[in-house]
Copies of this chain bind each other. A is one copy, B any other.
């Protein structure tokens, strides 16, 4: 067969797939050894990495001064700010010590005497992970990929190219000392490479974008490869007819102000109309005190304007909402407020407007709680709890690969489980092996036994 001309990206993708296939027989213990090796290499390269990070930061500072880069991006670029470096190293150890997500049996059945079927978790294949600014993500993702047995191709922000090049070097150095293939974790640097890779669905199995909405949307619109992530986090809190006032204030405020830029922060507060002159003023007062701008529909606005003496900050922070308020992810101390006539109207509004990320009800009614958590079609449906709890670490996964607003494969905060799939392993121990032709309804034919086997791991 004539050798086809291969673009550089095709070679990267093919190499990754081959590395993945070659790695299938590597033991979990070797993968853990690789993780500890990466930590050691990083420690050895620390001063070089500090220098590289300084170069990136200085270039970025010039871009900020020239208005080409945001201040917040600059902050994320600094790998040695606070305990970031140590936290990154600790993260590797933490991932190393998590339970192995592969090799776990989730279904096992004896189909016939001596014919056993096992559904066992295994890595997905080749991951393409695209992120911005924060250089430590290279190490986070490399650790998660290695732990879960996936090969990965990583693309960081161009602002951190000098830093990530050295981080990637540390990973390569460590892998070279193990039985894992050298192309197991590769890094790329340009958007053009990303564009080419997004077309290679025969080699790449999952794309994980971590960054701005624009980044995620752009990737979702330009690939047939499955994408795991969320473009928007438009979360709501609904104050039900039977809400407790203290819970209403605490949940509405915490969901908004704990970290307004996070995808799991509250963007819309929905109020049952019966609360307009009871609980709503107290909630509004607490939000205004915290400096939250309220974009109110007419009912909730009227209720606040009738209060005497006027609430502090009323004149500067309370504004009428527009249609677009309820489809906007503010990501700041701004909150859209809507009044509804019923629980079912609240659920209908959320299903039509939220990003299906996380929504919370404040209620003392068991039946309202049940209706809300079943009726709201979101990855997280909460009762009397802040939307900010929607997070892999808080859920107890030990790590977070990302948060998915897709419905297929993984939904909500995703731990290591989101990086594995499964395969079916069948073994005949019969004297003559097993063939399908012996089963059926005719004379002398066998029937399937389908008897559950208790197994956590493959027995061979």
Contact = CB atoms under 8 A, between A and B. Distances in A.
Interface of A: 1, 20-21, 24-25, 109, 111, 115, 117, 124-125, 205-206, 220-221, 224, 226, 244, 246-247, 250-251, 253-255, 258, 323, 348, 351, 362, 366, 369-371, 373-375, 377-386, 388-390, 393-396, 406-409, 411-413, 421-430, 432-437, 439, 448, 450, 458, 460
Given A323-B1, A408-B226, A411-B423, A125 B386 contact: no
Given A247-B433, A433-B385, A460-B366, A375 B423 contact: no
Nearest to A372: B425
A459 B133 CA distance: 43
Which 7 A-B residue pairs are closest in the complex by CB-CB distance? A254-B435, A247-B433, A396-B450, A384-B433, A388-B436, A384-B428, A409-B409
Contact of A379 (B117, B247, B369, B424): B424
B408 A395 contact: no
Given A25-B375, A377-B24, A424 B450 contact: no
B371 A25 contact: yes
Contact of A24 (B125, B375, B434): B375
Contact of A432 (B1, B250, B394): B250
A385 B427 contact: yes
Given A25-B374, A379-B423, A433 B125 contact: no
Given A117-B395, A450-B396, A247 B432 contact: yes
A204 to B, nearest CB: 11
A436 B384 contact: no
Contacts of A115: 385, 389
